[in-house]
Structures are given as C-alpha cells and as structure tokens.
Chain A
Amino acid sequence: MALGPAMTLTAALLLQSHECKMTDSASAGLRAEFTGDDAEYVRLVNLYRDGRHEEAVREFHNLNLVVVERLIRRQAPGMSDHCLQAATLLETELAIDLAERSRWEESDPLFDEAWQISFLVEPPVNRLRFQRNWLLAAGLFHHRLIFVNVAEEAFPRAARFLRNAVRLYPNDPEMLLAAGSLLEWSGSLRSGDPDHLKEAEELYARARRIAPSDPDILLHHGWVLQRLGRAEEASAPLLQVLELRAREDVVYRSRMALAGMAERDGRLTEAIGHYEAATEVIPSWQVAYLALGHALHASGSHDRAREVLDRALAIPMKSADETLGGWWSYELGIALRFESVLERLRAEVMR
C-alpha cells in the first residue's frame, strides 16, 4: 500500500474510533439548545457503533424523535461522517424491525428520514458511496420481504427503492441486477405485469454491457430472454456462463434453462445432455433428475427414464431441504444479498 492512502486510512480509522458528539459543527447557539434527548440519541448512536445493534434499536424506538427532525433540518449540532452514517442506520434498522412486522405506516416515514439523514454525510464522495449501499440494502430488504407473504405491500416499496437506485446509479451492475431481478419476479407471475419482464430485460442488457462476464447477470439475462420467448438470444449468455468459473448454482440454472429451451424446441438429445450435466454439477438437487427423466420418457427411453427417476427418489429429503434455498435463490433474486450489504454498512460505522 502506498504511503498516502495508508495515512488517509489511518486517519480515517482514528476519526472513526472517536465517540460521536453533537458538537462537531455546532454553533454556540445550537449547543445551548441541547436537551436530554439529544444526549440520549447520541448515546444510542454510539451504542450502535459499538455493535450493540438490537439494543440500540430497541431503545431508539422509545425515544422522542424531535432530535432527529432537527438533525435533518440541520438545526441540530452536526456529527461526523461515520456518526451520521450510524444515525442513518439506526433509523433504518428501526424501520426494518417495524416493516418485518408489517407496520408499514410507521416504517415508511423512518426509511424516508434515514434517507434524509444520509444527505448530511460529508464529503460527497463518502455520501454517494454510503447512499448507494443504503439504497441497495433498503431495496433488497423489501424484495426479500415479498417472500414472507406480504408481496402486495413489499413489492411497490422494493421497486421504489431499486428504481431510484438505478436512476441515481445508472451504470452500477449490481443495482441493475437487483432491480432487474425484482421486476423479473413480478413480470413472471401469472397475475404479474408483463411489462416488468421487458423492463428487467432492458436492465440486464445494460448491466451486461457494463459487466459482460458477470455470471449472475448472464444467467438472469438468459433466463428472462427465454421467458420473453426470445430463445435464440437467450442461448448466448447461458452458454457463456458455462465457459466461466461460475458458482455451481449459476451453472446448474444455466444448464436447466438451456435444457428447457431445447426440450420445448424438440431437441431432446441436447436437452438430455444439459439435464445430465446439471445432475453432475449439483447431484443433491432433485429437480434436474426429474426433468431428465421426463425428457428421456419423451424420447422413448423408458428404462433410462425409470432409472433416473429412481435416482431422483433416492435423494433424501434432508438434502433437498438444505438446498431449497439454493434452488429458490433464483426466485429470491439477489434479495438474499441483503444481509451482506447491511453487514457491510454496519462494518463501516463500527468504532
């Protein structure tokens, strides 16, 4: 590491280790207006920065929030960069806690407040980086909520965050993938909006231009093109995945998509080849065996079909249960990344 950046990092860490105070940029007048709640708020921000997230959020829930409103209106003494980020996250985690209990009327304003606090973060380069991750986390959080049976409430919120994220960060492949994945989910539903599928395809296509060798983007683009009935275009990104060092589940999914298209097109030998390859990539996932069995059945290879079916039925439940999340990870989109994005945000404000 060069000396310059090393010194900057050390300085940043030193600064980060400081205790948050509401005096950093306060005028004497504002300092005079300090209340007990202000002090309590700062204590909770520090508690959060100490890694005691749940405790801080629980106590924050009971706090008079006038101090936050004043902070947003810049009528409260300022705090340093990391403290403001921590304040944003404290607000966000309370919003998350409430949204998880479907208390949308309470969680929505808190997400908005958190976003507003984030604008106080300085310098702008830090603010942009922080806001990027925050928007991604908020979008992914609501995306993930869709799968706990609150889709009607969670989808529009996830879409709002992720569409905003794409507007603000139009060339960020991870944002494009996240937004695309959400819209792909919605567009693929029987009762969903087919335009969402087209919008997802456009986002993936843009992401692919920016990150042409990202296996997740290639898989999703291939998959959505296939769903749009554009099989010829779908094959290229899926075949490209097979040439990359991609994760097993991405390769498996690509094989399954290629096989499904070939089967629908009557190219059974090709379909069988891809299904067989999928069983070899992840032998403990049952679905490829069932699909292979069906393709063999359709091709007239009944003995082989039964043999493959026997193998499918020999896979114990425990194994399938363990891998359920993996198989469903496609439907979950990249919503599963929410935890890691939040952890990343938390780590940056730790002292």
Chain B
Amino acid sequence: MSSVALLLLVTAASQEPRPVFRVSTEAVQVDVFVGEDGRAVAGLGTSDFELYDDGQLRKVDSVAVAEVPLNVVLVLDTSESVEGETLTHLRRAADGFLSELSTGDRAALLTFSHHLNLHSPLTSDVTLLKATLGEIEALGGTAWHDALFAALEMLEVVRERPAVLLFTDGADTYSWLREEQVLSLVSRSNAVVYAITREEKAPLPDLGTTRAQERFRQNRRERIRRTKLLLDVTRESGGRLIEMGDPRPALLGDASDRLQEIFLEILAEMKTRYILTYSPPAPVRDGWHELEVKVKRKGVEVQARRGYYYGPRP
C-alpha cells in the first residue's frame, strides 16, 4: 500500500508560515516518492503525473527534484531500552546520515526518552551536528508522541522539503499527547515522516517459562499497537515505516547494525522525491481536501500525502 506525502505552500512573499491560501497567490506543493521494485524512479516530468484534488484532475505546473534542499529533523529514541549496542549503532547511523547531506540541506537533532532534548536546531553545520551525537545517552521512558509533535512544530516554519526521521524501539510510555492527537498533527503538517522501528513478525523465542512467554506476547501486542500507529503516521504524511529485527541482542539477535544502511536508504529516498506544484482554482473550499497522485506508468508505487486542510482548522 502506498503512503502519501504532500507539502502545502504559499508562494506569495508572505512570512506567514501556515499554508493560508490567498486568491491568485496560492499554490499547493505535493511531495511525492515514485518507486519501482524498491528503487526510486527518476526523470519524471509534469506530463507523467496526474493529480486529483477532491477527485478533480488538476494540472501540475512544475516538478522539482534535487534542486530543493532538505530540512530534516532526526527524532531519535534514547530511552533505556536502546542502551548499549543499539545506541552505538544509532549514533553511527545518524553520523552516516549527516555525512551524506548535500550543501544547502539542513538537519536538527532531537532525542527523547521521558524527556525531550534538542541537541541542535536546524542547521547546515554538519560538523556541529555530528559533535552533538556524542552527548546522547540512553535512560528513562519513551515519549515519541510528544517528540514528534515538537519536531513537526519546528518544521512549521520550513517551506522546503520538511521531513522527519523517527527512530523508536518501544511503545510510548510517557507522552502527554494521545494517539489521535498525533495523527491529527501529522495530517495538518507539511512534513513527510519516515519511521524506523522493530520488526514484530519474528518467531516467538523459547523463553522457558509460560509466564515469560505470556509477558513477551503482551509486550509484543503493545508493540504491534505502536507499529500500527507509526504506520498510520507515516502513511498519512506520505512517508514510510521501516521495520527491522529486534535490536536487542538478548532477544532476537542484533539487527541494529542495519540502522546505518536504513538511515542512508531513507535519505536517498528523501532526496529523490518529486515536488509537484499546482494551483487550485479560487475560491478554495475550507476544510479537508483529498488528494490522489498517479503516475502514467505501470507497476510503479506512489507515496504522497492523502490530503490537506485548507483554511481555519476544524
């Protein structure tokens, strides 16, 4: 199933960060990934896309790819459960991600446990960002709902390719924000959210006692709930959820060494997303607009946001 991503933007010179539309100055930007057999499809132009706003076909005015810089917030789980080898792999993966950023790209580093810790706001200073990775330590509970809110809020003022890369290995235990609030925030944000979490399909390990097995099953059920929310969040935003094997060596073998590879895969995908721009005819109706993006080519997968809100928020 494709996920979806869209970016709304006011093309007027206004400094208002929200996508408040004004007649004749408004444009909508839709952030789209097109893949085929797991690889990005390059070289597409305006005539390759079909864009439907509330079921109405709209003309795509322009398509941009590499020339639009990236603004990504790395939102990393540093709760107690990532302590040890996973944290080492996480630091290395983030370091590798930052090394591959292009000139003009910006990144921020936000870690979370029970506490949110902004190590660096959005900056293109990769050296500074890398230095902050050394500050990370693992302890406490997990508050990824609140952390994602903080990241989306930071990206509210960003016009160019706002994105979040979220890593979490546990169920949320500490956030104030509830699941439905997180989903609502994502649907109203311009940012594309990519998430990495543990794979929950691995076979049940032999844990000896019945109680231990039951505890494992309960934990797994909780994690499956978390995975479902992450899936909804990423799909809503047009991003993608990547599940990997349990990163805790004691349980299912260490899969966190794949983190670097996954981080780089996500970065490559972020960089190859198309930014479609179109102008909806005035007057634009207030409220939720459903979007659908198609590519006139067989066998391709399209990830784009499912819709956008226009006007005052409900």
- 0/1 string, B204-216, CB within 8 A of A gives 1: 0000000100110
* A302 in contact (CB, < 8 A): yes
Using a CB-CB cutoff of 8 Å, which residues 131-162 of chain A contact chain B? 152-153
Taking A287-B176, A293-B153, A297-B153 as contacts, is the C-beta distance between A313 and B114 under 8 angstroms? no
- 0/1 string, A293-310, CB within 8 A of B gives 1: 110011010100110010
Contacts of B294 in A (CB 8 A): none
**B181 & A294 in contact (Cβ 8 Å cutoff):** yes
**B222 & A286 in contact (Cβ 8 Å cutoff):** no
* A291 in contact (CB, < 8 A): yes
* B115 in contact (CB, < 8 A): yes
The complex places the Cα of A162 from the Cα of B273 at a distance, in Å, of 59
The complex places the Cα of A297 from the Cα of B116 at a distance, in Å, of 18
Contacts of B115 in A (CB 8 A): 286, 315, 317, 320-321, 324
Total A-B Cβ pairs within 8 A: 68
* A218 in contact (CB, < 8 A): no
Nearest Cβ in chain A — how far from B191, in angstroms? Answer: 14
**A312 & B116 in contact (Cβ 8 Å cutoff):** yes
Q: Which residue from B18, B150, B176, B181 sits with its C-beta under 8 Å from A309?
A: B150
Using a CB-CB cutoff of 8 Å, which residues 209-231 of chain B contact chain A? 211, 214-215, 218, 221-222, 225
* B309 in contact (CB, < 8 A): no
Using a CB-CB cutoff of 8 Å, which residues 196-216 of chain A contact chain B? none
Taking A191-B218, A293-B153 as contacts, is the C-beta distance between A324 and B140 under 8 angstroms? yes
Interface of B is mostly: mixed
Q: Which residue from A290, A302, A315, A324 sits with its C-beta under 8 Å from B18?
A: A302
Residue of B nearest to A316 (CB): B117
Interface of A is mostly: helix
Residue of B nearest to A264 (CB): B178
Contacts of B157 in A (CB 8 A): 306
Q: How many residues of A contact B (CB 8 A)?
A: 27
**B156 & A306 in contact (Cβ 8 Å cutoff):** yes
**A302 & B146 in contact (Cβ 8 Å cutoff):** no
* B133 in contact (CB, < 8 A): no
Contacts of A306 in B (CB 8 A): 153-154, 156-157
Taking A321-B139, A321-B140 as contacts, is the C-beta distance between A291 and B176 under 8 angstroms? yes
Nearest Cβ in chain A — how far from B216, in angstroms? Answer: 12
The complex places the Cα of A191 from the Cα of B214 at a distance, in Å, of 12
* B267 in contact (CB, < 8 A): no
Contacts of B139 in A (CB 8 A): 321
Interface residues of A (CB under 8 A from B): 152-153, 190-191, 256, 260, 286-287, 290-291, 293-294, 297-298, 300, 302, 305-306, 309, 312-313, 315, 317, 320-321, 324, 327
Which 4 pairs of residues, A with B, have the shortest CB-CB distance?
A320-B115, A313-B118, A291-B176, A290-B146
